[in-house]
Amino acid sequence: MGRQAIAIGLTVVEVARVHDRACRRVLGTRAAADAAEWIGAAHTILAESFTPYENVHLALRAANAALRTSGEHYRDLLETVDVAVFTVDLCGRLTSVNHAGVSLSGYRREDMVTRGLDLILSPGKLGLVRAGRELRVRGARAKSSVELELVTNDGRCVPVVAYTRPIQENEKTVGMQIFVRDVTDRKQAEAAIRHLTQFVERKMKRISHALHDDAAQVLAALYLRIDEMASEAPTADQRGLQQLRRLVDQVHDQLRRLSHELRPASLDDYGVVPACRFLAEGVSKRSKLKVEIKGSTGGRLSSEVEIAVYRVVQEALSNIVKHAGAKTATIEFERQDGLLTGRIRDNGQSFDVARIMSRKAGRGLGLVGMQERLMAVAGRLRVTSAPYKGTSVEFAVPVED
């Protein structure tokens, strides 16, 4: 329980609350004579659940003690890690750079210390880093990471993610450390996924239009022919023609549904929320699942973001119908501070998220596909599931205000 709790990001307090609810539910159904035995078992389970947290705590405490007692060891550690680390003082002057920073930039350590961050950052991005550093120094809230490009000695622009951390002595901030990680591989993977997704979407759009337009023309001709036959046929044959027309109606409805699921025209015409409403109505009719949609995207988004968000909602609803056994589902959207967030919740059966995500079963539930869809638009996905609470699929995608 403790390992699974850590894997999905639960705190000790949240684990205790889960344990408390479980105990109340179990003990409420047991005889008073058995209470002591069950309480003892509950204490044992809680203690074992906290063991992984205790191990993490002890490891962190040991690491902090080692860093406090050995400045030389810390400097050696910075020199051996594969993350570039730059140190600046309160005036923004570069005071040190580790071996990974030298290798990444291609400049000599002495040149970098002499000329500062101006040597490796473009003027526009330099202001962004300085603003983030000043916020951190003042203790104000700043973005936990910034994506930018580092200019190397041979003129290449390397995509990196930069994190900042205040350096404190005697409870006073004396400088900042900037941790820089090369994300070239991630960017290339995102570009490959984005191109593949665009290719698949173009194919699906073409098939959708073929189903909607070409098949609709054939069905329209078939309707006319049935009407002609009905007007000429004797009364005894009228019932058969009516049954035939009802079958054609069913085919028409199925083609319309398939066309919409492949690539809904409402998504291109009106945006994510109207397309999701149409999708939810179809799901509700076929499965009796009651779906409620709340919130707004705050206006139209880029085509890539709208498609990614719609596909995540579509896959989540499909999972709810197939696996959750839920009666209700809620889809919520919110746009704030350049970020679109969404959450799809249900009241159905829960599952072990950590186990599923670590196995190929995650692909069977479409979780890997959701992650790849969001990765292509720099988004992120979080799935939580708990007994008696159902499952929640949450995503966040950066958008332009």
Give 326-344 pLDDT, tens digit per residue. Answer: 999 999 999 998 899 999 9
CATH number at residue 382: 3.30.565.10
Do 311 and 273 lie in a common domain? yes
pLDDT band at 161 (very low <50, low <70, confident <90, very high): confident
Burial of 9 (0-12, 13-18, 19+ CB in 10 A): exposed
Q: If you average pLDDT over residues 311-315, what whole number do you get?
A: 90
Last residue of a domain, one of 263, 287, 304: 263
pLDDT at position 137: 52
Give the structural domain span for 199: 184-263
Last residue of a domain, one of 182, 199, 230: 182
Q: If you average pLDDT over residues 177-200, what whole number do you get?
A: 80
Do 400 and 277 lie in a common domain? yes
Do 119 and 242 lie in a common domain? no
Angle at 244 (CA atoms; ends 242, 247), nearest 5 degrees:
115
Last residue of a domain, one of 263, 278, 306: 263
Do 89 and 211 lie in a common domain? no
List Cα–Cα distances, 323 to 298, 343, 366, in angstroms. Answer: 32, 18, 12
Residue 266 phi/psi, 5-degree rounding, is -65, -25
Do 379 and 275 lie in a common domain? yes
Q: Are 238 and 230 in contact (CB under 8 A)?
A: yes
| 345 DSSP β-pair partners | 330, 392
Do 315 and 383 lie in a common domain? yes
pLDDT of 294 > 90? The answer is: yes
Do 9 and 64 lie in a common domain? yes
Task: Give the count of domains, the chain.
Answer: 4
Segment 37-91, tens digit of pLDDT: 777 887 788 778 778 777 777 777 777 776 566 555 556 666 666 788 888 887 7
CATH number at residue 90: 3.30.450.20
Cα–Cα dist 190/196, whole Å = 10
pTM of the predicted protein model: 0.54
Closest CA to 179 of 87, 84, 99: 84
Do 168 and 232 lie in a common domain? no
Do 295 and 376 lie in a common domain? yes
Q: Provide CB contacts within 8 A for 370, sequence distance 6+.
A: 311, 312, 315, 316, 381, 393, 395
pLDDT of 362 > 50? The answer is: no
Segment 205-216, tens digit of pLDDT: 777 766 666 777
Do 120 and 23 lie in a common domain? no
pLDDT at position 75: 63
Element (H, E) at 14: helix 12-27
